[in-house]
Amino acid sequence: MRYKAILFDVDDTLLDFQTGNHNAVNQLMDELGYHDSDRYEQYEAINLKCWAELEAGLLTQNQLKLARFVRFFDRYPVAGDPRWAAERFVELLGRQSILLPHALETVSRIAQKLPVAIVTNGITAIQRSRLGLSPLKDYVTEVVISEEVGVSKPRPGIFTIALDRLGVRPSDALMVGDGVNSDIRGANNAGIDACWLNPSGKPLPEGVRADYQITDIRQCVEIAMDGIGDGSSFQMVE
- Catalytic residue list: 9, 11
Distance between CA 109 and CA 131 in Å, rounded?
Answer: 18
CA 153 to chain centre: 9
From 210, 213, 234, select the one nearest 222 (Cα to Cα).
Answer: 234
